[in-house]
Amino acid sequence: MFDMNRIGKAIRTARIGKNMTQMELADQMGVSFQAVSNWERGSSMPDIAKLETLSQILDLDIHLLLGGQSQASMAVEKVLTEPEAVLSVKELAEVAPILSPDQVHAEVNKATQDGGAKTTLKDISPLLPFLDEDMTDEIIGNIHYDSLAELACAAPFLSESQLDALVCKADTSDWEGILALAPFLSGDTLDSLAERCMERVDAHKLTQLAPFLSEQTLSRIAEKMGDIDLHTLVGLAPFLEEVTLDRIVKRELDKGCSIQALTPLYPFLSSETMRRLMQHFLRTGDIEGMKDATTFL
């Protein structure tokens, strides 16, 4: 990658050596004074279309301008002197920051057209911030990746519909991948995916996905799971339907669960269930239990 501070210093040194002001350089380059100032401070770089002109004005070899002989500077030279040449994905990642969006698209098309099947998601990932959504959808849909977790790096750049389609074809046993992609998937896809894979996922893992699932789907899955330890149930409670939580609590009580252990669930239980608990405390004379339950009646 380019060292923008080093490039900025090279521009500044060469400009001063030519006894030029930033304004004079800006006028000759056809850019604003602020653009030259940003280049010299290392805040931004001249785009590739300006490099040859800048090199000529400052009498500075492009390789020296870009920090010396490097893979990045060699890739820039190839773009400038061999317009028909095909950059490798790795070379393209080096020069993408100074290419226009249209140039990036054109170069990516050339790089992936013949060898796209050999291009991996790891290869293409550095280019994703420079591509539009449509092109990202097309490229990711045609390249290899090993897991849903690996696909997560591309998720912010994909359309929701494309990501949904890719995930629906994937291995649902990849729990870490599903969790990593959850914030980017549509609600319908995530609900369907959860119901497909939950037979292989324990209740504790379900709490990690709970914030992204619909209340109805989460409740359906939770009721099917049978045994849910109290700690996990507390984690699920804010996301469950009230009627589902009431049924699970009744089931736990029927199995001998201590009522006092249910205290963290009080804010999420129905008024009817809380009244039943209060009646129990009244019958047993449990003053502390009554105090805890009163707040939620």
Kindly state the average pLDDT of the residues 115-140: 82
In sequence order, which residues have a C-beta less than 8 Å from that of residue 117 and are 6 or more positions away?
A: 142, 143, 144
Confidence of residue 133 (pLDDT cuts 50, 70, 90): very high
Kindly state the average pLDDT of the residues 128-152: 86
User: Would you state the pLDDT for residue 71?
Assistant: 74
User: Would you state the pLDDT for residue 246?
Assistant: 92
Confidence of residue 32 (pLDDT cuts 50, 70, 90): very high
Q: Which residue has the higher pLDDT, 17 or 170?
A: 17
User: Would you state the pLDDT for residue 24?
Assistant: 95
Nearest CA to 67 out of 2, 14, 17, 18 is that of: 2
Q: What is the pLDDT of residues 34-80, one digit of tens each?
A: 999 999 999 988 888 888 899 999 998 888 888 776 777 787 877 77
Domain boundaries, the chain: 1-82, 86-144, 145-201, 211-297
Q: What is the pLDDT of residues 86-120, one digit of tens each?
A: 888 888 888 888 888 888 888 888 777 754 446 78
* 68-72, 156-160, 190-194: least confident range: 68-72
Q: Which residue has the higher pLDDT, 203 or 124?
A: 124
User: Would you state the pLDDT for residue 116?
Assistant: 47
User: Would you state the pLDDT for residue 15?
Assistant: 93
Q: Alpha carbon of 159 to those of 126, 134, 151, 175, 178: distances in Å?
A: 18, 8, 13, 22, 17
Kindly state the average pLDDT of the residues 240-256: 88
Nearest CA to 213 out of 245, 236, 242 is that of: 236
User: Would you state the pLDDT for residue 114?
Assistant: 57
How many CB atoms sit inside 10 A of residue 285's CB? 8
* 179-193, 194-208, 220-234, 271-285: least confident range: 194-208
Q: Does position 11 have pLDDT exceeding 90, yes or no?
A: yes
- What percentage of the chain has pLDDT greater than the value 70? 95
Q: Which helix (H) or strand (E) holds 153?
A: none
Kindly state the average pLDDT of the residues 137-161: 87
Q: Which residue has the higher pLDDT, 27 or 142?
A: 27
Query: Rounded to an integer, what distance in angstroms lies between the CA atom of residue 271 and that of residue 203?
Result: 26
Q: What is the pLDDT of residues 257-276, one digit of tens each?
A: 788 888 899 999 999 999 88
Architecture of domain 1-82: Orthogonal Bundle (1.10)
Which of 120-129, 149-158, 189-198, 200-209 holds the top average pLDDT? 149-158
Counted residue by residue, the chain has a size of: 297
Query: Rounded to an integer, what distance in angstroms lies between the CA atom of residue 14 and that of residue 58?
Result: 6
How much is the mean pLDDT over the chain? 85
> Is there a contact between 125 and 153 (Cβ–Cβ < 8 Å)?
yes
Query: Rounded to an integer, what distance in angstroms lies between the CA atom of residue 256 and that of residue 102?
Result: 67
Q: Alpha carbon of 272 to those of 48, 265, 275, 277: distances in Å?
A: 70, 14, 5, 9
